[in-house]
Amino acid sequence: MFRRFFDMTASLASTRHHPLPREVEQARQQVMQSIQSRLNSEKTLAERFADGLVRWFGSFSFGFLHVIVFAIWILINTEHFPNIPVFDPYPFNFLTMAVSLEAIFLSIFVLISQNRESQIADLRQEFDLQVNMIAESEITKVINLLAYLMDHLNVPYEQDPELQRMMRPLNVDEIRMELEGQLRLPKSKITPQGVALVPPSEIKES
């Protein structure tokens, strides 16, 4: 009977006070779309121009245009069209210079666009972090409430170490120290499965 009451209480709490995962994801997407729309509306003219060029640079028409231009250029300057004078004979030094300058400007426009996208990605990561921390706090609160119900119903749970760990609030400083330790982790502690976690006691201040 206690177990049935416990399951019903947990189901009711999760249904009434916590949205479904699909609703949470939809809400997150709506917020991110709203933020991204606002940031896009705040773009300067130069940033809009750079974004438009970058989108065109990544299109098939841009590559096809270069193939046509290079082919015509080479055919003209190798005397395949006698009526058109040669203006850049082999080894096509002017074409080489033009392509080099184009590569420089392409890199500049791509970097401008990437900087903007990087700002949006950083904002998205910060938003996800804040949502995850709020969710962690709410889950911890729900677990403590359920533990209170279990204690009220005389259901033993003190011998469950995992439950005891989940009842503790998230220690942000401990996670930060673990991440800082991973950044200074020697290669000998990197396992095939990934980077090994370093306990805070093993972290040495640099």
What local confidence, expressed as pLDDT, does residue 185 receive?
60
Residues 6+ positions from 10 with CB-CB distance below 8 Å: 146
Stretch (H or E) spanning 190: strand 190-191
pLDDT per residue of the chain (206 residues) written in tens, 0 to 9? 444 444 544 454 444 444 445 666 666 666 666 666 666 666 777 777 888 888 888 889 888 999 999 999 999 888 888 888 888 888 888 899 999 999 998 888 888 888 877 877 887 787 777 778 888 888 888 888 888 888 888 777 777 777 777 777 777 777 778 777 777 765 445 444 444 444 445 544 44
What is the span of the domain harbouring residue 94?
45-170
Say if 192 falls within a structural domain: no
In angstroms, the CA 205 to CA 186 distance is 14
Asked if 6 and 142 count as a contact pair (C-beta separation under 8 A), the reply is: no
Instruction: Let me know if residue 111 belongs to a domain.
Output: yes
CA angle 82, 85, 86 (to 5 degrees): 105
* pLDDT (0 to 100) of residue 100: 93
CA distance readout (Å), 128 to 20, 28, 31, 100, 131: 17, 8, 11, 41, 5
For position 33, what pLDDT does the model report? 66
What is residue 195's predicted lDDT score, i.e. its pLDDT?
Answer: 45
Number of domains within the chain = 1
pLDDT, position 192: 45
pTM above the 0.75 mark? no
Instruction: Tell me what pLDDT residue 8 has.
Output: 45
Q: Does residue 190 lie within any of the structural domains?
A: no
The predicted structure's pLDDT at residue 143 = 83
In a domain, 34, yes or no: no
Residue 153: inside a domain, yes or no?
A: yes
pLDDT at 104: 93
The answer as to whether 33 is a domain residue is no
pLDDT of residue 200: 47
Query: Are the C-beta atoms of residues 196 and 181 closer than 8 Å to each other?
Result: no
pLDDT one-digit tens code per residue, 161-172: 777 777 777 777
Say if residues 125 and 118 touch (Cβ distance below 8 Å): no
Give the per-residue pLDDT at 81. 84
Residue 150 lies in a domain: yes
Within-domain flag for 6: no
